[in-house]
């Protein structure tokens, strides 16, 4: 059964003459994971800071979990990870989480137990959590930040770039943790790593220049913004073929992709996005053959969330006058 997690109406924030967030209407339900996307400066961090009360809106209203954001009891129901979490470097990891638990009013014995459980769950074992935070790597700090956001067992988690400092293995582990958390709570997360959002978030919101440009199911967004695409398995000079295809009228993007398991030795994959079906079905195969490529396989492909994002945000930037403030 779903329940209201975030509700914004006309939410705006100005910094002098700069409009960082412009009349944002947003409805997020829990439980589940919801991706929050936008280029640098789009207004994501400003929005998240308004949601947790670190910034006052210039206009508009916010309701969190059906309550006024200033309601004292609401604080215990929220967990927040800022984009650049700050810690006391002289504290150990477990001491810091216990300190946050004390702020929540959690009794010392329970705080110690909870800190140990959460740090283990977030990938900081006994040795790591007894080290001083000043000696932590960026990835360890990220894990510590997620652990502290979970101390109060929140119903709503607001996470600003939760996996940005992690290596691929660490990202996979934390994404699985977030997927698990989304089963019984609302997780609203921003990220620049769109493949990660696509992997775990069934729904996304996209901002551009502080304004909402998309808010829908990830699959529906990809279907709506779909452009004819192909994936070719070839032998030959992949980079030369890529350049030749990108110069072809009607081809929007051509890029070399990582080989897939089972691909023949010496083969390469080319991903091509086109403006029209006839380009994908006729012109691209003809160009590959004319270039002397050995075409081992050619199949249609669905656009990634990253491709859709680039298309939507790029199209909007082309429509913005150069003198826009």
- C-alpha neighbours within 13 Å on the C-beta side of residue 198: 16
What is the C-alpha end-to-end distance of the chain, expressed in Å?
A: 43
- In this prediction, residues 143-163 reach a mean pLDDT of 95
- pLDDT tens per residue across span 167-206: 889 899 999 999 999 999 999 999 989 999 999 999 999 9
pLDDT of 210: 95
Give, as one character, the DSSP assignment of residue 237.
Answer: -
- pLDDT tens per residue across span 51-79: 999 999 999 999 999 999 989 889 889 99
Which residues lie below 8 Å from residue 254, measured CB to CB, with a gap of 6+?
Answer: 241, 242, 243, 245, 246, 270, 271, 272, 273
Residue 271 predicted with pLDDT over 80: yes
Domain residue spans of the chain:
3-223, 227-301
C-alpha–C-alpha distance, residues 114 and 94, integer Å: 10
- pLDDT tens per residue across span 220-262: 998 777 677 888 898 888 898 899 898 999 888 888 988 788 8
pTM more than 0.85: no
C-alpha–C-alpha distance, residues 17 and 24, integer Å: 18
- In this prediction, residues 259-275 reach a mean pLDDT of 86
Sign of torsion over alpha carbons 33, 231, 39, 318 = negative
pLDDT of 317: 56
- pLDDT tens per residue across span 98-120: 999 999 999 999 999 999 999 99
pLDDT of 226: 66
pLDDT of 320: 46
Residue 49 predicted with pLDDT over 90: yes
**Residue from 175, 182, 134, 191 nearest 156 by CA:** 182
C-alpha–C-alpha distance, residues 229 and 300, integer Å: 6
C-alpha–C-alpha distance, residues 68 and 59, integer Å: 15
- Angle made by CA atoms 87, 92, 97, in degrees to the nearest 5: 65
**Residue from 133, 184, 138 nearest 157 by CA:** 184
pLDDT of 51: 97
In this structure, the strands spanning 32-37 and 186-190 are parallel
CATH number belonging to domain 3-223: 3.40.50.300
Residue 88 predicted with pLDDT over 90: yes
Averaged confidence pLDDT in the chain: 90
Domain range 227-301, CATH class: alpha beta
pLDDT of 97: 97
Q: What value does the CA radius of gyration of the chain take, rounded to a whole number of Å?
A: 23
pLDDT band at 315 (very low <50, low <70, confident <90, very high): low
């Amino acid at each position: 059964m779903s329940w209201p997690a975030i509700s914004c109406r006309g939410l705006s924030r100005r910094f002098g003459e700069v409009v960082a967030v412009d009349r944002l209407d947003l409805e997020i339900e829990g439980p589940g994971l919801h991706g929050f996307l936008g280029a640098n400066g789009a207004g994501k961090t400003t929005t998240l800071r308004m949601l947790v009360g670190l910034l006052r809106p210039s206009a508009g209203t916010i309701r969190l979990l059906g309550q006024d954001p200033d309601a004292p009891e609401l604080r215990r129901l929220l967990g927040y990870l800022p984009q650049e979490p700050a810690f006391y470097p002289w504290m150990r990891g477990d001491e810091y989480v216990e300190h946050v638990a004390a702020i929540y009013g959690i009794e010392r014995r329970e705080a110690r137990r909870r800190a140990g459980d959460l740090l283990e769950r977030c990938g900081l074992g006994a040795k790591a959590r007894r080290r001083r935070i000043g000696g932590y790597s960026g990835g360890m700090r990220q894990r510590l930040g997620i652990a502290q956001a979970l101390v109060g067992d929140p119903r709503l988690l607001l996470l600003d770039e939760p996996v940005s400092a992690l290596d691929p293995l660490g990202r996979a582990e934390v994404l699985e943790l977030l997927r698990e958390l989304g089963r019984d709570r609302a997780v609203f997360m921003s990220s620049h790593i769109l493949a990660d959002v696509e992997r775990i978030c069934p729904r996304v919101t996209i901002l551009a220049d502080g304004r909402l440009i998309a808010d829908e199911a990830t699959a529906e967004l990809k279907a709506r913004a779909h452009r004819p695409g192909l994936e070719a398995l070839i032998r030959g000079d992949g980079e030369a073929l890529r350049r030749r295809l990108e110069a072809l009228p009607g081809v929007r993007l051509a890029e070399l992709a990582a080989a897939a398991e089972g691909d023949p030795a010496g083969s390469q994959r080319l991903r091509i996005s086109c403006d029209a079906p006839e380009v994908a079905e006729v012109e691209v195969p003809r160009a590959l053959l004319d270039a002397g490529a050995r075409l081992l396989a050619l199949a249609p492909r669905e656009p990634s969330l990253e491709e859709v994002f680039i298309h939507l945000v790029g199209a909007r930037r082309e429509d913005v006058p150069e003198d826009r403030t």
